[in-house]
A = this chain, B = another copy of it.
Amino acid sequence: MAIVGTSTRRPDYLDKVTGKGAYVGDLEIPGMAHAKVLSSPLPHARILRIDASKARALPGVFGVLTAHELGDMDPYYGSDIKDRPIIAIDKVRYEGEPVAAVAAVDLETAEAALDLIDVEYEELPVIATMNDALTDGAATVHQSNLCHESHYEWGNTEEGFAEADRIFEDTFTFPMVYHYSLEPHTVIARYDELGITVWDSAQHPFLVRNELARLFGLSLNRVQVVVPYVGGGFGSKSYIKIEPLAVALSREAKRPVKLAYSVEQSAKTVRRHAASITLKTGVRNDGSFVARDCQIRLDTGAYADNGNRVTDRCADQVPGPYLWPHLTVTSKGLYTNTGAAGSFRAIGGPQAAWASESQVDMIADALGIDPLELRLKNLGAPGDVIRQGKNPLDADIATGLKEAAKGVGWAGRGAKPVTQEKETKRGIGLACSVLNAGASPTSTALVRLHADGSATAMVSTVEVGQGSKGVMAQIAAEELCIPLEKVGVVASDTAIVPYDRSTGASRSTTLVGLAVQLGAKEIKQQLLDLASKHFEAPEDKLAFADSSVVFGQESITYAQLIRQMFGGPAGELMGRGYVTPQTEGPLKGLPVFWEMAVVGAEVEVNEKTGAIRVLRLVSVSDIGKAINPKQAEGQDEGAAMQGIGHTLFEELIYEDGQLLNPNLVDYRVPSFEEVPDGFETILIENEDGPGPFGAKGIGEGPIAAVAPAIANAVFQATGVRIKELPLTPERVWRALQAGTSGGHKVDALTEG
């Protein structure tokens, strides 16, 4: 293959490098008004009265939206659980919740109008934490504080524990973290008598379309979601966020409306679920895993968003890639009076792996077994059913883990690296998990072969920075046997490209790429039909090469075949790609692929300051086939760095429902300073994935395994085990002072 497997230049390089690429914030729609939102200052309160009459009377104000203006529509929406009102109705449930919105001639006028809106609140008891949510008799955020519960089991866990030689029980906590994509939520909405158009920074334009159609009572052909470049998503722009508010405001203001959130507003709109996970694990003295009971609590905040799915997925991932004879998992998503939590890269995975892989190392330590050996002993192998009712494992985790161990210089549990500096200690840690990213096999694509033999692929995958446009072009070019520069890609506008479910779940290359490949194949079939007539030869004697169909020593170009068909340099061929749960091939059953999450880390801990420096980080992914290796590595590097963020310092801090740190000064994200000196991504390519050319999804795995790998390295370095994130210098220093180690007691800083 000449194109697939090559690190070709991404087609958006020029737009990105020169700044020409347009994001929603760059767009101006004729007649567009500018919007501002009046946010609730209280995390939980009844709205007794809103008076927006003065705001409405302000010159330059085109419309003010409050619950009253929603009229008799069903105003509740959500990805599955429809619990979020377009704008607060009767109650506010988090600090920052939109209570009123103003569309005005400019932002200054809109801002001034907000000051003229008079809202009277009655404060309600604040459910600030998951502990609050679970307290008997506590106030409730919705009808109850339980958003979603997920439970499954196999074997008999109690009997398993009885069979075990040792039982370990630990609770691990994971912080609220924010995606911090550079571009906050931004949308321009236009509502008129004919329908809705939104220009949206969105990962799931077709799901936005569906939900807007439902809310506003329109058929799908009347709702258009246009996604220009997106300045990062990581799950924060999945499903539907502020689009209904912008559309309702446009309807009220009778003109297009641009609603651009600040970082603070975005951080309150969606974040990752904080978690508290208690694992009770029974093992034999030889290290065999016997039984595990997992109790997961996830803080979904004031609204479900995607919390039901995160709750399920965290439950699905907490067993890790191991074979458990007996397993019980209970996962609860809980409402609190904080900003809603939803999808975030490897949903549920980092929380699950943090708990599971920390404890695996603790067990190894207690049993005196090398943690690598302990893992290898219990890992599922390719073909093993690791989750009942699901597709068998298709990734070779053991090989990946060994690669990571080798890459990071793992030499056994006792063989820790030495450091020259007195105040620092070094250690190496490993972690592995496996993600059911949940990629939905529902993608379509259209490939067009133009009259000169060049092509355009029409796909809905959103270019969120991951490089999907180039990958789709590579797939089409390779399958069509034409040069890469002769393929254009048109993406992410629901009115013009065919359906794709979503950009996320590591699915674009595998599933949209497969749709593109199937589309190209349908074109090739048409070319075969034409060439078969032209050569008067059976199709099985024909082959494809260099933009031509070849028959023995003869050949005819695609352009010539199209010219014959249309009687001149005219026309084009179209090929459709449908990926469905019924698609022939490896898509039968779910997940369509398992995503390996394997990381090895070497760290240096400053015992005087508690500061951790990651010296080496090696991640391994099973990509099946890397369409564009450099981009694939970039994806995994991004996941690893984002994992370093929540491992070392990222945490949204809510105090009594008030978010304290929604800015880059108080909420620190990784910078180039934190990039490990040794930073390696290993891609396993067996060409065995369900996607085009054997590809399978990557780009999420490392984020799940970084935190336990680092914590395990910190333990090797210092003998101190910390069970909550992030591993800030203060927390590490305190743990070092307390000498918390290996054991089962919760360290001093742990909160409920």
Asked if B194 and A571 sit within 8 Å, CB to CB, the answer is no
| Inter-chain contacts of A453 with B (CB < 8 A) | 219
For the complex formed by this chain, how many copies does it contain in all?
2
Q: How long is the Cα–Cα vector from A220 to B485 in the complex, in angstroms?
A: 11
Q: How long is the Cα–Cα vector from A442 to B582 in the complex, in angstroms?
A: 35
Asked if B442 and A219 sit within 8 Å, CB to CB, the answer is no
> Which residues 452-471 of A have a CB within 8 angstroms of B?
452-456, 458
User: A569: CB under 8 A from chain B?
Assistant: yes
Asked if B26 and A22 sit within 8 Å, CB to CB, the answer is no
Asked if B574 and A454 sit within 8 Å, CB to CB, the answer is no
Q: Of B195, B206, B448, B581, which contacts A498 at CB under 8 A?
A: B448
Residue-wise, chain A 219-242 has the 8 Å CB interface mask toward B (1 for contact) of: 111100000000000000000000
Residue-wise, chain A 563-582 has the 8 Å CB interface mask toward B (1 for contact) of: 00111111110101010111
| Inter-chain contacts of A485 with B (CB < 8 A) | 219, 222
Q: Pick the most buried of A213, A442, A582: most chain B CB atoms within 10 A of its CB.
A: A442
> Which residues 462-521 of A have a CB within 8 angstroms of B?
485-488, 490, 493, 495-499, 501
Residue-wise, chain A 291-316 has the 8 Å CB interface mask toward B (1 for contact) of: 00000000000000000000000000
User: A87: CB under 8 A from chain B?
Assistant: no
Asked if A194 and B568 sit within 8 Å, CB to CB, the answer is no
> Which residues 431-454 of A have a CB within 8 angstroms of B?
440-442, 444, 446, 448, 450-454
Asked if B221 and A455 sit within 8 Å, CB to CB, the answer is yes
Residue of B whose beta carbon sits closest to that of A489: B221
User: A192: CB under 8 A from chain B?
Assistant: yes
Q: How long is the Cα–Cα vector from A455 to B222 in the complex, in angstroms?
A: 9
User: A193: CB under 8 A from chain B?
Assistant: yes
Asked if B576 and A574 sit within 8 Å, CB to CB, the answer is yes
| Inter-chain contacts of A389 with B (CB < 8 A) | none
User: A30: CB under 8 A from chain B?
Assistant: yes
Known A30-B20, A193-B14, A567-B580: A572·B219 in contact at CB below 8 Å: no
User: A106: CB under 8 A from chain B?
Assistant: no
Asked if A571 and B20 sit within 8 Å, CB to CB, the answer is no
> Which residues 140-197 of A have a CB within 8 angstroms of B?
192-195
Q: Of B220, B455, B566, which contacts A452 at CB under 8 A?
A: B220
Residue of B whose beta carbon sits closest to that of A574: B576
| Inter-chain contacts of A450 with B (CB < 8 A) | 219-221, 499
User: A131: CB under 8 A from chain B?
Assistant: no
User: A31: CB under 8 A from chain B?
Assistant: yes
Q: Pick the most buried of A20, A488, A490, A497: most chain B CB atoms within 10 A of its CB.
A: A488
Asked if A576 and B578 sit within 8 Å, CB to CB, the answer is no
| Inter-chain contacts of A69 with B (CB < 8 A) | none
| Inter-chain contacts of A566 with B (CB < 8 A) | 442, 580-581
| Inter-chain contacts of A578 with B (CB < 8 A) | 565, 571
Q: How long is the Cα–Cα vector from A14 to B22 in the complex, in angstroms?
A: 28
| Inter-chain contacts of A210 with B (CB < 8 A) | 451, 569
Asked if B452 and A213 sit within 8 Å, CB to CB, the answer is yes
Residue of B whose beta carbon sits closest to that of A576: B574
User: A11: CB under 8 A from chain B?
Assistant: yes
Q: Of B14, B194, B497, B501, which contacts A192 at CB under 8 A?
A: B14
Asked if A454 and B220 sit within 8 Å, CB to CB, the answer is yes
Q: Of B440, B496, B565, B571, which contacts A458 at CB under 8 A?
A: B496
Asked if B31 and A20 sit within 8 Å, CB to CB, the answer is yes
Asked if A442 and B568 sit within 8 Å, CB to CB, the answer is yes
Q: How long is the Cα–Cα vector from A450 to B581 in the complex, in angstroms?
A: 17
Asked if A221 and B456 sit within 8 Å, CB to CB, the answer is yes
**Shortest Cβ gap from A185 to chain B (Å):** 22
User: A286: CB under 8 A from chain B?
Assistant: no
User: A28: CB under 8 A from chain B?
Assistant: yes
Asked if B571 and A580 sit within 8 Å, CB to CB, the answer is yes
Known A219-B486, A486-B221: A451·B499 in contact at CB below 8 Å: yes
**Shortest Cβ gap from A395 to chain B (Å):** 24
Known A28-B28, A495-B488, A567-B580: A194·B446 in contact at CB below 8 Å: no
Q: How long is the Cα–Cα vector from A29 to B220 in the complex, in angstroms?
A: 29
Q: Pick the most buried of A11, A455, A501, A576: most chain B CB atoms within 10 A of its CB.
A: A576
Q: How long is the Cα–Cα vector from A458 to B221 in the complex, in angstroms?
A: 12
Asked if B571 and A444 sit within 8 Å, CB to CB, the answer is yes
Residue-wise, chain A 532-569 has the 8 Å CB interface mask toward B (1 for contact) of: 00000000000000000000000000000000011111
Residue of B whose beta carbon sits closest to that of A572: B499
Q: How long is the Cα–Cα vector from A487 to B571 in the complex, in angstroms?
A: 24
Residue of B whose beta carbon sits closest to that of A473: B221
**Shortest Cβ gap from A494 to chain B (Å):** 9
| Inter-chain contacts of A221 with B (CB < 8 A) | 450, 454-456, 486-488
Q: Of B30, B192, B452, B582, which contacts A26 at CB under 8 A?
A: B30
**Shortest Cβ gap from A569 to chain B (Å):** 7
Asked if B488 and A222 sit within 8 Å, CB to CB, the answer is yes
Asked if B488 and A452 sit within 8 Å, CB to CB, the answer is no
| Inter-chain contacts of A206 with B (CB < 8 A) | 570
Q: How long is the Cα–Cα vector from A30 to B568 in the complex, in angstroms?
A: 37
**Shortest Cβ gap from A21 to chain B (Å):** 10
Q: How long is the Cα–Cα vector from A705 to B22 in the complex, in angstroms?
A: 51
Q: How long is the Cα–Cα vector from A408 to B335 in the complex, in angstroms?
A: 79
**Shortest Cβ gap from A377 to chain B (Å):** 38
Q: How long is the Cα–Cα vector from A669 to B22 in the complex, in angstroms?
A: 43
**Shortest Cβ gap from A547 to chain B (Å):** 10
Q: Could you list 18 further interchain pairs (A-B, Cβ under 8 angstroms) beyond the known A565-B582, A567-B581, A571-B580?
A: A20-B192, A22-B30, A219-B452, A219-B485, A220-B450, A221-B454, A221-B455, A221-B488, A222-B454, A222-B488, A444-B574, A446-B574, A448-B498, A456-B495, A490-B496, A499-B571, A566-B581, A571-B578
Q: List 29 A-B contacts (CB under 8 A).
A: A14-B192, A14-B193, A22-B30, A26-B30, A195-B488, A219-B450, A219-B453, A219-B486, A220-B450, A220-B451, A220-B452, A221-B450, A221-B454, A221-B455, A221-B486, A221-B487, A221-B488, A441-B567, A442-B567, A444-B572, A451-B499, A458-B496, A490-B496, A493-B496, A498-B572, A501-B570, A566-B581, A574-B574, A576-B576
- 10 tightest CB-CB pairs across the interface, nearest first? A219-B454, A221-B488, A221-B454, A220-B450, A442-B570, A567-B581, A496-B496, A499-B572, A574-B576, A442-B566
